[in-house]
Amino acid sequence: MAGDIRMAFIHYEPETDRVAEAPGVADEMAEAARAFASRYLEGVASACAPLTLVVAFDPALVAAPGSGARRLLLARDAPKLARHLLGPRRAGSSVMVVVGPSAVAYDGDEGRLRETACCDVGNAVGLLHPARGAGPIAPLMPWLLQIACETIAYGGGDPEGAPARADRAMARALSGVSASLYDSWNAYGQMLTDHPAWPYLAEATANEARATAAGCDGPSPPDRIAAMSHSALARALHGLGVEVRPGGGP
């Protein structure tokens, strides 16, 4: 089972991991949230199985700069929320996604929603199976792995759309690494000045991941997505002359 379609209505404070029931959610909004959860989890199931994932709706969650109105959390990193949504016995590698009103109002095509779900799967897999490195490349490794994970999670379907998806994956990763290093989603200039190799690393990783994804047919377990993604990243680094140690890191 890829996820749990039941919808929890909550208020969540990530800074303190405080969670409470969200009273008074309008019937229309509640129905829209359930419909979004069903569509979103279909996208997750197309990429990854089995993966314990629960969707919750927070009417107060708004989009942050450079990101959508979704927040992905691992149960191990948000224990109070995990107990609230999953119960005391289901944690560890379980994944939770909290969405806000603008996310559930999405009415675009299923392909882009599937891409969103695969992006989240890639994020979760990367958090569960992180990439590590040494030297200047070290802070870039999680985001290079994110490119590989979400590309491979999408699989080999829609090959004509693969180049555009790769471009969007690289753009998301650039925003993410900028935010992580400079506390700003828009610090691209500073990021590329400090790490001029990023465009070459990102493109090489995306190309290797696309080649791997082309051979994927149907959903894969998280550990297989992780193994394929780490291998693709290692090949990309090796192709650029970055020495890769056993285990996949430079």
pTM equals 0.86
Gyration radius from the chain CA atoms? 18
Helices (H) and strands (E) in the chain, counts: 9, 5
Helices (H), the chain: 27-47, 79-86, 101-104, 110-128, 141-154, 162-182, 188-194, 198-213, 222-239
Contact predicate 118/165, CB 8 Å: no
Contact predicate 236/208, CB 8 Å: yes
- The residue behind tokens 């994110």 is 146
DSSP code string of 105-170: T--S-HHHHHHHHHHHHHHHHHHHS-----GGGGGGHHHHHHHHHHHHHH-SS-GGGHHHHHHHHH
Q: What is the pLDDT of residue 197?
A: 94
* Cis before 50? omega within 30: yes
In this structure, are strands 4-13 and 18-21 parallel, antiparallel, or unpaired? antiparallel
Q: Please give the average pLDDT of every successive group of 10 residues along the chain, which has 250 residues.
A: 64 91 86 87 79 84 71 87 79 79 80 86 89 87 95 85 92 90 83 93 96 85 91 94 65
Instruction: Show Cβ contacts of residue 206 under 8 Å, excluding neighbours closer than 6 positions.
Output: 147, 148, 151, 166, 169, 170
Q: What is the pLDDT of residue 249?
A: 60
Amino acid symbol at 198 = W
Q: What is the pLDDT of residue 94?
A: 77
Total Cβ atoms within 10 A of residue 26? 9
Q: What is the pLDDT of residue 1?
A: 38
